[in-house]
Amino acid sequence: MAHLRKTGDAVFSKVEKVNSELFSLTYGAIVTQLLKDYEEVDATNEQLEKMGYNIGIRLVDEFLAKAQISSCQNFSETAEVIAKVGFKMFLGVTAEVTNSNASEFSLQLTDNPLAEFVELPEQYSQLSYSNMLCGVLRGALEMVQMRVECTLTKDALWGDDVTELRVVLKELMDEEYKDDDE
């Protein structure tokens, strides 16, 4: 997987950067605003995922355009590409792939740029703070014909050592062409 790491570094050097503190704080502002607007944790988690989805369906094109990688042969390769190239390109960090098989994998982040300065207050202890990442993965993979479910299974903010995203493949979507004449 060394070549993927290299691709990740190469793409990272090509993309525009933004100050990481500004990024973390902006994300924090979005989350707090959502908590205010939706007033409860579950609805906020859901909304974060939805926002992520809308980001993901666009972000995949930028990823494909810049990373110039060929299509993945299997789902484990997809996991590695996301961990080493995708995360590096957009967040500047890489993830570790664990528990990977033909239809699911986990991504572990030791360093989560989204949650840089965050502590969860008691009443929000169930908040999936980084749930937007789940949505991004779901949206991006859907655009390349993989329907997945993605959940935040561990979070450093919940007291775990790492932040972990679990991705489960539900369906490989077939391309079909509907002729509306018939």
Q: Does 101 sit near another protein (CB under 8 A)?
A: no
CB atoms within 10 A of CB 9: 15
Cα 181 to Cα 54: distance, rounded to the nearest angstrom: 31
Cα 91 to Cα 23: distance, rounded to the nearest angstrom: 10
Pairing relationship of beta strands 163-172 and 146-154 according to DSSP bridges:
antiparallel
- Could you tell me the smallest distance in angstroms from the CB atom of residue 40 to another protein? 28
**CA quadruple 87, 88, 93, 99: dihedral, nearest 10:** 50
Identify which of residues 36 and 178 has a Cβ nearer to another protein in the complex.
178
Q: Does 74 sit near another protein (CB under 8 A)?
A: no
- Write the interaction track for another protein spanning residues 126-145; mark x where CB under 8 A is met and - where it is not: -----------------xxx
The letter for the amino acid at 24 is S
Rule CB under 8 A: choose which of 17, 102, 178, 182 binds another protein: 178
Size of the site for another protein (CB under 8 A): 17
- Could you tell me the smallest distance in angstroms from the CB atom of residue 30 to another protein? 15
Q: Does 10 sit near another protein (CB under 8 A)?
A: no
Cα 143 to Cα 60: distance, rounded to the nearest angstrom: 7
Q: Does 13 sit near another protein (CB under 8 A)?
A: no
- Contact positions vs another protein (CB under 8 A): 57-58, 60-62, 64-66, 68, 71, 143-145, 175, 177-179
